[in-house]
Amino acid sequence: MVSPPLRDPPQLPPGPFPFPLLGNFAQIDLANPHRTMVKWAFRYGPLFTVHLPKPIIVIADFQLLKETLISQGDVFAGRPDSFLYGIFTNHRKEGDGIILAEGERWQAQRRFALRAFRNLGMGTKKMDETIMYHVNELLVRIQKEIYYSESTIIDLHYPLAFCIGNIIQEMVMGRTYCYNDPEFLYFKHLIDNTLKGVASVQMLLVDEYPWMRHILPGYKSYVNDGFALQKFFLDEIERHEKDLDMNADSDNFIDAYLKDMKNGEKELSKLTLALNAGDLWTGGMETTVTTLRWMIAYLIHYPGIQRELFEEIRSVIGPRRVTTADRIKMPKIRAAIDEIQRIVNVLPWHIPHTVRETVVVRGYTIPVGTTIMPQPGAVAHNPLLFSQPEHFRIGRFLDEEGSYKQREEFTPFGLGKRQCLGEGLARAELFLILVSLLQHFEFGPKEGEAELPSLKKSPGMASVPNEFECYVRRRSAKEEEPPKLDERFEAMLKSMMEEKLRESMKRQHQKTKSNLESSESSEDSGKGGFRLAEMDTDSEGPNDPFADFDVNEATLLKRDSLDLALDASEILINESRKRRKSD
């Protein structure tokens, strides 16, 4: 049986003693690995070796991260040869895709992605408009669910996922999904399973000992889900290729890539494009959705902070629509976003690097090809930098005067050559969505304090919260100067409700008339009844023909109101999509 060496080579930094086969897995808090890394950093120093189960050098100090990832960025920008990832790249030596490629292939993908994002409006007003279009759909979705009752219990996971997913989808593929689209739900299921599986103990064992794929049950699911995702993107690429217009401006990543590929760029291929699209989807959607879900959960636990954030929103922008230009004027919102990213550490297992040449770091000789794991999460939970790091405190990112205070040592999007390409988009999404949600809605526990969302994390590539429902109240029910969600939506829904009421009144009118005629026919018709036009509709007595209206027709109206809201919203959304497409 193969197992890690019982001792590291003398040139590697010290670290915890590994167990045969499993390495240090049994010693790590898999749901909160940063806690274990902080403990080991204090014990062994900021540079130490762990076995997962292969030997990996962990960097758990901010100054050391700068020395390696920035000052020697080219040396530390490699990616390890991985059996798990190689399954989907035909085990190409230099890797593939934006995230895992090496050398010239990686540089070509990165250059293209940066240029494509810039052409698609990254960091411009156009990006704001794209995000806010989908944010408005999110707000309408929530508003529709609580339209009649002013408040309700909602699970925000999928509304947020469709919002973020459609932003990424529009940029990558040039199309979007309707809410609860089965294809999207299946697609997200595959992404969730893949991210959960890739960082599991089983898959990390397979990565080190490929023969174990024959005995560990998680491998088959991982491979099937991964290839299903790849097929989804390859099929989408085929559809784009059939309709590609080489003379038209590209409004999505896939079209732009196909044009460069047809123009002879040697490092571009359909498989690489499929992997790039998958990298953008998984990196761009799941982390942002997860961060927003955590934000809602923490604000339910800390209603005082939620109120402070709303007061800042009301003070700075009032009822108007938020833009990214407002960010500089909203220090508490910025601080809250930073603090949630810090405390949650949404990617606890930072994607490993390798050194491209032998290098000496703090007296240790690190051979070429050695795997390196930066640990910005351990830095963000170092009590010497952030006192009581497990406590949620937005004041960490505010100075004494209440202005926003940037913390250099807080790097949620990484450092150096491998820093997240979508940082600008993610920051804009987090800001615009959080402000929009708090501007229109208040969030609370489902059933009093006993039903607060759990703050426990699940093991995996991403630190995801447990599923939870929350109480949502639209602020326009009580707050002064309430923001209007969508005037056209409100007007259309009011008109449709009035028409529904008229139909209900007409049905009740006919029902009453029929009852009266039936009653008259059973009596002496010569004694003359009364005409319907002479009825006293204000009467509350037993002869009031509308006495049972609230029981029957009002109940029917209440049941139909959500359907009407859905109809009104879909009409407006479809009109907007047609206008955007024609533009």
Residues of the chain with CATH 1.10.630.10: 99-485
DSSP state of 404: B
pLDDT, position 535: 34
pLDDT, position 93: 81
Residues 49 and 58 sit within 8 Å (Cβ to Cβ): yes
In tens, the pLDDT along 298-326 reads: 999 999 999 999 999 999 999 999 999 99
pLDDT, position 69: 95
The alpha carbon dihedral of 379, 85, 30, 19 has a sign of negative
Nearest-angstrom CA–CA distance, 521 and 12: 103
In order along its 583 residues, the chain shows pLDDT tens digits of 444 444 555 578 999 999 988 899 899 998 899 999 999 999 999 999 999 888 999 999 999 999 999 999 999 999 998 898 889 888 888 888 888 888 888 888 999 999 999 998 888 889 999 999 999 999 999 988 887 666 688 999 999 999 999 999 999 999 999 988 999 999 889 988 888 888 788 888 898 899 999 999 999 999 999 999 999 999 999 999 998 888 888 899 999 999 988 887 666 789 999 999 999 988 888 899 999 999 999 999 999 999 999 999 999 999 999 999 999 999 999 999 999 999 999 998 888 999 999 999 999 999 999 999 999 999 999 999 999 999 999 999 999 999 999 999 999 999 999 999 899 999 999 999 999 999 999 999 987 667 899 999 988 778 999 999 999 998 864 453 444 445 555 666 566 666 666 666 666 666 655 655 555 554 444 444 333 333 333 333 343 333 333 334 444 444 445 555 555 555 555 566 556 555 5
DSSP state of 422: T
pLDDT, position 4: 45
pLDDT, position 148: 61
Which of 204, 193, 87 lies closest to 462 in space, CA to CA?
193
Q: Half-sphere exposure of residue 409, counting CA atoms within 13 Å on the CB side?
A: 17
Structure tokens at 357: 């040449």
Nearest-angstrom CA–CA distance, 61 and 44: 12
Helix (H) or strand (E) holding 58: strand 55-59
pLDDT, position 27: 94
Any known ligand binding at 420? yes
Q: Which amino acid is at 494?
A: K
99-485: CATH homologous superfamily? Cytochrome P450 (1.10.630.10)
CA distances from 199 to 4, 56, 233 (A): 19, 15, 23
pLDDT, position 572: 59
Which of 475, 435, 489 lies closest to 137 in space, CA to CA?
489
* Nearby residues of 17 by Cβ (< 8 Å), 6 or more positions away: 6
Strand partners, 366: 359
Structure tokens at 358: 């032998």
Residues 345 and 374 sit within 8 Å (Cβ to Cβ): no
What's the farthest any 2 CA atoms get from each other in the chain? 116
Which of 181, 408, 402, 193 lies closest to 282 in space, CA to CA?
193
User: pTM of the predicted model, to two decimals?
Assistant: 0.81
Nearest-angstrom CA–CA distance, 301 and 445: 8
Helix (H) or strand (E) holding 51: strand 47-51
SS3 letters across 352-398: CEECCCCEEECCEEECCCCEEEECHHHHHCCCCCCCCCCCCCHHHHE
Transcribe 459-498 into DSSP letters: PSSS-EEPP--EEEEEGGGTSSSPPPS-HHHHHHHHHHHH
Structure tokens at 38: 């902080």
CB burial class (10 A; 0-12, 13-18, 19+) of residue 482?
middle
CB burial class (10 A; 0-12, 13-18, 19+) of residue 314?
middle
